[in-house]
Amino acid sequence: METLSRPSDHIDSAPQRDAKIVNPNLGVVGWLRWFWRQLTSMRTALLLLLLLAIAAVPGSLVPQRSSDPNGVSQYFADYKDTAPILDQFQMFDVYTSAWFSAIYLLLFISLIGCVLPRTKHHIEALQAQPPVTPANLVRLPAYAQLTIAGKSAEEVLEAARKVLKADRYRVARYDRAAGGTGKLKSEAAITVSAERGYMRETGNLIFHFALVGVLIAVGFGGGFGFAGQRAIYEGQAFTNSLIAFDSFNPGRFFNSANLTPYTIQLDKFTAVYEEKNSNAIGQPVDFTAEVTTQIQGEAPQQQTIKVNEPLRIAGTDVYLLGNGYAPTITVRDAEGNVVFTDSVNFLPQDKNLTSLGVIKLPDGLAEQVGLIGFFYPTVSEGHSGAYFSMYPDLIDPRLTLDVYAGDLGLDEGIPRSVYALDTADMTKLAGRKAPQKSLEFSIGETVELPNGLGSVTFDGVKRFVSLDIHRDPTQGWVLVFSLSALAGLLISLFIPRRRMWVSVTENSDGSVTAECAGLARGDDPTLDTAVNALKDKLERALGLTRD
Partner 1 sequence: MTDTLSEYSVLALYSAMAIYAIAFVLFTLDLAKGASGDPVAGAEAQKVVVPERRKLARVAMALTVIGFALQFAATLMRGVAASRVPWANMYEFAMTGTLIIVAVFLLVNLKWDMKFLGSFVTGLVLLLLGLAATRYYVEIVPLPPALQSYWLVIHVFVATLATGFFALGFALSLMQLLQTKRELAVAAKEKTRLAFLTRLPDSVQLENYAYRLIIIGFVLWTFTLIAGAIWAEKAWGRYWGWDTKEVWTFIIWTIYAGYIHARSTRGWRGTRSAWLAMIGFAAVIFNFTVVNIFFKGLHAYSGL
Q: How far apart are CA 65 and CA 58, in angstroms?
A: 13
Closest C-alpha to 254, from 291, 288, 228: 228
As beta bridge partners, residue 190 has: 175, 504
Q: Give 442's contacts (C-beta < 8 A, 6+ positions apart).
A: 397, 398, 399, 458
Q: What letters, b where the CB count within 10 A reaches 16 and e where it falls short, cover 297-316?
A: eeeeeebebeeeebbebeeb
Among 120, 165, 306, 437, indicate the residue that binds partner 1 (CB under 8 A): 306
Among residues 203 and 221, whose Cβ is nearest to ligand HEM? 203
Question: Segment 87-126, which members bind partner 1 (CB under 8 A)?
Answer: 94-95
Among 35, 493, 494, 526, binds ligand HEM (CB under 6 A): 493
- Whole-number Å distance between alpha carbons of 481 and 212: 9
The answer for residues whose C-beta is within 8 angstroms of residue 43's C-beta and 6 or more apart is 9
Q: Is 445 helix (H, G, I), strand (E, B) or coil?
A: coil
Of how many residues is the chain composed?
547
Stretch that binds partner 1, among 53-61, 181-189, 291-299, 329-337 (CB under 8 A): 53-61
- In the complex, the smallest distance separating the C-beta of residue 92 from partner 1, rounded to whole angstroms, is 12
| Smallest gap from residue 304 Cβ to partner 1 (A) | 13
Judged by CB under 8 A, which stretch of 37-45, 155-163, 241-249, 368-376 contacts partner 1? Answer: 37-45
489 binds partner 1 (CB under 8 A): yes
**Sheet with 301-306, side-by-side order of all strands:** 237-239, 262-273, 284-295, 301-306
Q: Which of residues 156-215 bind partner 1 (CB under 8 A)?
A: none
40 binds ligand HEM (CB under 6 A): yes
When the beta carbons of 201 and 333 are compared against ligand HEM, the nearer one is 201
Kindly report the CA angle at 108 between 106 and 109, in degrees rounded to 5? Answer: 65
Q: Mapping DSSP to helix (H, G, I), strand (E, B) and coil, where does residue 3 land?
A: coil
- By CB under 8 A, name the one of 3, 23, 67, 545 that touches partner 1: 67
Cα 395–chain centre separation: 41
| DSSP codes, 460-507 | EEEEEEEEEEEE-TTHHHHHHHHHHHHHHHHHHHHS--EEEEEEEEE-
Using CB under 6 A as the criterion, what x/- string covers residues 112-151 for binding ligand HEM? --x-------------------------------------
Burial annotation 122-143 (CB, 10 A radius, 16+ → b, else e): beebeeeebeebbeebeebebb
Q: Which does 111 bind (CB under 5 to 8 A by kind): partner 1, ligand HEM, none?
A: ligand HEM
The smaller minimum CB distance to ligand HEM, of residues 109 and 443, is found at 109
For the segment 179-208, give every residue that binds ligand HEM (CB under 6 A): 203-204, 207-208
For residue 162, the SS3 value is helix
42 binds ligand HEM (CB under 6 A): yes
Interacting partner of 66 out of ligand HEM, partner 1, none (Cβ under 5 to 8 A depending on kind): partner 1
Residue 211 interacting with ligand HEM (CB under 6 A):
yes
Binding to partner 1 by residue 86, rule CB under 8 A?
Answer: no
310 contact choice in partner 1, ligand HEM, none (CB below 5 to 8 Å, kind-dependent): partner 1
Q: What's the min distance (Å) between Cβ of 479 and partner 1?
A: 7
Q: Which residues pair with 401 in a beta bridge?
A: 373, 439
Q: Is 518 in the site for partner 1 (CB under 8 A)?
A: no
Report, in Å, the least distance between residue 497 CB and partner 1: 14
- Strand, helix or coil for residue 129: coil
Residue 110 interacts with which of partner 1, ligand HEM, none, CB < 5 to 8 Å by class: ligand HEM
Q: Residues 496 to 535: which contact ligand HEM by CB under 6 A?
A: 522
| Interface with ligand HEM, residue 5, by CB under 6 A | no
Dihedral over alpha carbons 251, 255, 261, 264 (to 10 degrees): 10
User: Three-state DSSP class for 98?
Assistant: helix
Q: Which residues bind ligand HEM (CB under 6 A)?
A: 6-7, 10, 40-42, 45, 49, 107, 110-111, 114, 203-204, 207-208, 211, 488-489, 492-493, 522
Q: Which residues bind partner 1 (CB under 8 A)?
A: 6, 9-13, 15, 42-43, 45-46, 49-50, 52-53, 56-57, 59-60, 64, 66-68, 71, 94-95, 218, 227, 274, 277, 279-280, 283-287, 306-310, 317, 319, 321, 468, 470, 472, 475, 478-479, 482-483, 485-486, 489-490, 493-494, 523, 525
